[in-house]
Structure 1
Amino acid sequence: MRKALVFGVLAILLAAASSARAQLSLPYPALTIFFRTADLEPLSQSRFVLNLAAQSAAKIPQANVNLFDDFYLINGQWSGSPNSLIVHFNGVLQNLGQRQMPPWIGVAQFSNHAITYDIQAGFQQVKAKYGMPNARAASVVVYRTLNTGLLVYDYRIPIKGGRCQEYLFTPDSGGFQLGMQVNCYMSLVAVGRGRAGHR
């Protein structure tokens, strides 16, 4: 009886240790949870953002957006400035650089805490809708439209010449739309030059 109890406790401890190791090996929590729960106010200097983006730091398109480890936000209300602020940050909310840019127009402010629909599930729906089961996303941008007030998940799929085709998914309405051909990746240098804003 005592041996069985010892072996039982040992088995539970080994299973717990194995589970802990497995959790530690995960690169990041699900992107949706990270975006929804992150305290972005110190980075954005505001309670609101205009764009929230994720991509691979190695610039490698992924079939699973939860593997993205490089992040950007654009803030429309930077205290004391008429301009917007773009901030580059990582998975532990460390500021990797920022700069002022011309006002980012065409989208509405939103709180990252409003992101509830799973971003990877949205990507799966886009792939099914457009018949591209093997597609990989270079990046994804979340924003709120001015005309509908709904959040949009903007998946950027590589096409050619370093360009990407936008595939837009609106979780609340279940709507899909083809967007424009754009740069695949965000950077502090590229964003804010060439066009005033986003849809």
Structure 2
Amino acid sequence: MRKALVFGVFGVFAVLLAAVSPARAQAEVLLPYPALTIFFRTANLEPLSQSQFVLNLAAQSSTKEPQANVNLFDDFYLINGQWSGSPNNLIVHFNGSLQNLGQRVIPTWIGVAQFSNHAITYDLQAGLQQVKAKYGMPAARATSVVVYRTINTGQIVYDYRIPIAGGRCQEYLFIPDNGGFQLGMQGGCYISLAAAGRSRAGHR
């Protein structure tokens, strides 16, 4: 009887908590996967990458829908940094469970430096919010985000793709180390195995 009373009181408390905390309940619904920054930083990518390093690490929605919250991205790609001494690189498609969904060898990937995904520390959603504030587009949604390290400065860059006219996207670059911003190229919005290697960024 005492146990039933305790559980009954707890159940009522839980219902009341949900009723007075709709924002918390909504946040839990909006984050079905671990926050993207934590996932990128803590994931053991070496079995997928066949390397200790990556050159690109990217996220997008598997439904190909732009999102205001990058933590909803559930479709991932990497380009590896070293591959058994080969002059080529490997692009790998994977999901939130680190399952390999496909891969292929691509020509040598140039223009970016190797980095460890464990070096990603600044929150990716906060970076998107800063980009939206900087460029005056509060309602903007990102189709994808790519993380890489520059060769010339050695700084990690968050490259957000924001839709523009004609089914294309504008790249907005955010540099967590110094809070810098830069406009990138215009091009495709989503990543695929088939398109990788057709441009410097390889995202179409």
Structure 2, unpaired ranges of 5+: 19-23
Q: Give per-residue Cα distances to partners, 1:65-87, cap 9 Å, x unaligned.
A: 00001000001211142100000
Supply the distance in 2 between the matched residues of 1:165 and 1:122 (Cα, whole angstroms): 16
Q: Give per-residue Cα distances to partners, 1:40-81, cap 9 Å, x unaligned.
A: 000000110000000001100000000001000001211142
Partner of 1:192: 197
Q: Residues 103 and 196 of structure 1 are in contact (CA less than 8 Å); yes or no, is this contact kept in structure 2?
A: no
Supply the distance in 2 between the matched residues of 1:196 and 1:167 (Cα, whole angstroms): 13
Partner of 1:121: 126
1:161 aligned counterpart, secondary structure: helix
Supply the distance in 1 between the matched residues of 2:74 and 2:30 (Cα, whole angstroms): 14
Supply the distance in 2 between the matched residues of 1:38 and 1:59 (Cα, whole angstroms): 23
User: Displacement of 1:6 after TM fit?
Assistant: 6.0
Q: Residues 110 and 200 of structure 2 are in contact (CA less than 8 Å); yes or no, is this contact kept in structure 1?
A: no
Higher relative contact order (CA 8 A, sep 6+): 1
RMSD over equivalenced CA pairs, Å: 2.6
Partner of 1:168: 173
Structure 1, unpaired ranges of 5+: none
With over 3 angstroms needed to count, the CA separation of the structure-2 counterparts of 1:155 and 1:72, relative to structure 1, is same
1:33 aligned counterpart, secondary structure: helix
Q: Residues 58 and 145 of structure 2 are in contact (CA less than 8 Å); yes or no, is this contact kept in structure 1?
A: yes
Q: Residues 140 and 155 of structure 1 are in contact (CA less than 8 Å); yes or no, is this contact kept in structure 2?
A: yes
With over 3 angstroms needed to count, the CA separation of the structure-2 counterparts of 1:88 and 1:196, relative to structure 1, is closer
1:177 aligned counterpart, secondary structure: strand
Equivalences for 1:4-153 in 2 at 5 Å?
Answer: 7-8=5-6, 10-12=8-10, 15=14, 26-153=31-158
2:147 aligned counterpart, secondary structure: strand
Supply the distance in 2 between the matched residues of 1:63 and 1:23 (Cα, whole angstroms): 16
- The correspondence for 1:157, drawn from 158, 162, 171, is 162
Supply the distance in 1 between the matched residues of 2:71 and 2:90 (Cα, whole angstroms): 25
With over 3 angstroms needed to count, the CA separation of the structure-2 counterparts of 1:38 and 1:11, relative to structure 1, is farther
* Matched residues, number: 194
With over 3 angstroms needed to count, the CA separation of the structure-2 counterparts of 1:121 and 1:26, relative to structure 1, is closer
Q: Residues 196 and 202 of structure 2 are in contact (CA less than 8 Å); yes or no, is this contact kept in structure 1?
A: no
Amino acid across the alignment from 1:106: G
Supply the distance in 2 between the matched residues of 1:153 and 1:41 (Cα, whole angstroms): 21
Q: Residues 76 and 103 of structure 1 are in contact (CA less than 8 Å); yes or no, is this contact kept in structure 2?
A: no
Q: Give per-residue Cα distances to partners, 1:78-128, cap 9 Å, x unaligned.
A: 114210000000000000000000011111100000000000000000000
Supply the distance in 2 between the matched residues of 1:13 and 1:166 (Cα, whole angstroms): 48
Partner of 2:21: none
1:143 aligned counterpart, secondary structure: strand
User: Displacement of 1:12 after TM fit?
Assistant: 4.3
Q: Residues 115 and 148 of structure 2 are in contact (CA less than 8 Å); yes or no, is this contact kept in structure 1?
A: yes
Runs of 4+ in 1 over 6 A off after TM superposition: none
User: Displacement of 1:162 after TM fit?
Assistant: 2.1
* Percent identity for Structure 1 against Structure 2: 78
